[in-house]
């Protein structure tokens, strides 16, 4: 019998303009997608966005639906009022996912700024 393949997903979500800043609220909202997390899997650290220091939620999740990761993160951009969310999958593939309803200039993933 084969087990279910899961992906480890780490998100960096800025809290500067985010209406949700309590760990419990963030976990509950992330769990409305195919991504699953726990309150103990979220930490707040200072990060950089556009050259400015911003408190960032670093969220460790798992998912068994790897093909849905982009769609799930786009939903989280809307929920958390984010222009974009940085993501790393399985500690090796990084991307910046843009808000689906904003016309933004592309931003490349930079591992030097990603917080694990």
pLDDT above 90: percentage of residues in the chain: 86
Overall domain count for the chain: 1
Residues contacting 52, CB < 8 A, separation 6+? 16
**Quick check: is 111 in a domain?**
no
* CATH number reported for the structural domain that contains residue 90 in this entry: 3.30.70.260
**Per-residue pLDDT at 22:** 95
Domain-located, residue 50: yes
Q: 36-83, pLDDT tens digit by residue? A: 999 999 999 999 888 899 999 999 999 998 889 999 999 999 999 999
Residue 28 belongs to domain spanning = 7-98
């Amino acid at each position: 019998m084969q087990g279910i393949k899961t992906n480890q997903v780490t998100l960096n979500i800025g809290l500067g303009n985010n209406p949700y800043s309590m760990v419990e609220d963030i976990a509950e909202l992330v769990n409305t997608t195919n991504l699953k997390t726990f309150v103990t899997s979220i930490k707040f650290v200072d990060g950089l966005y556009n050259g400015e220091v911003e408190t960032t939620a670093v969220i460790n999740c798992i998912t068994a639906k790897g093909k849905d990761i982009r769609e799930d993160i786009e939903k989280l951009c809307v929920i958390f009022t984010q222009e974009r969310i940085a993501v790393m999958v399985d500690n090796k593939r990084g991307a910046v996912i843009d808000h689906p309803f904003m016309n933004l200039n592309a931003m490349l993933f930079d591992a030097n700024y990603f917080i694990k």
